[in-house]
Amino acid sequence: MDLARETVDVARALSDAAALFEMEAEEVGLALAVETPDTPRWGRADPDGLQVVLKNLLSNAVKFTGNGGRIEARVRAGDDAVTIEIEDSGIGMHPENVPGLFEAFKQASEGVGREYEGTGLGLTVAKEVLDQMDGAIDVDTERDEGTCCTVRLPRAEEAPTPKESRLQENRL
């Protein structure tokens, strides 16, 4: 897969992805809160690739967080990176399992609660897409306390060019 590196509004991308999970979260009794700044946070990413990453992370958060739980998603901008955090109060996992999280089919073949459906590819795909966009992902977790996935993207210094803006709007 060949991914573009365009200037994207990371806050808007997160809001758009989270909106797809609002109804599902509500149906299973989860509080889904999205904290984004009022002004755009420009990052360098492939817009479609970024949506794949965000959807995989939000899907996992919904899947592994029980009734009455919470999911918080937020965007922050630093000097050289834009950071997205997706934090849940779900089942979490033992920290020693984190290094194997990005291996394909890991969840499907072993690990916490085989009762959860899925292929175990979500984090693998997210990491591969982020690697191609010069991004990164970290996972901080504790069994029975939840998980926080942190995505870092290169920060863009300015708003997208008019051409990039039109391309992104056409994707919506």
Say which CATH number the domain at 125 has: 3.30.565.10
Look at residue 113 and tell me if it is in a domain.
yes
Number of domains making up the chain: 1
Strands 136-142 and 70-77, how do they pair? unpaired
d(CA 82, CA 44): 9
The residue with greater pLDDT, 78 or 59, is 59
Q: Is 94 helix (H, G, I), strand (E, B) or coil?
A: coil
| pLDDT (tens digit per residue) in 60-88 | 999 999 899 999 999 998 889 999 999 99
Look at residue 172 and tell me if it is in a domain.
no
Residue 116 has pLDDT above 60, yes or no: no
What separation in angstroms does the CA of 89 have from each of 3, 70, 85, 120, 123?
32, 6, 13, 20, 18
Rounded to two decimals, what is the model's pTM? 0.85
d(CA 74, CA 82): 11
Look at residue 100 and tell me if it is in a domain.
yes
- Structural domain harbouring 60: 6-165
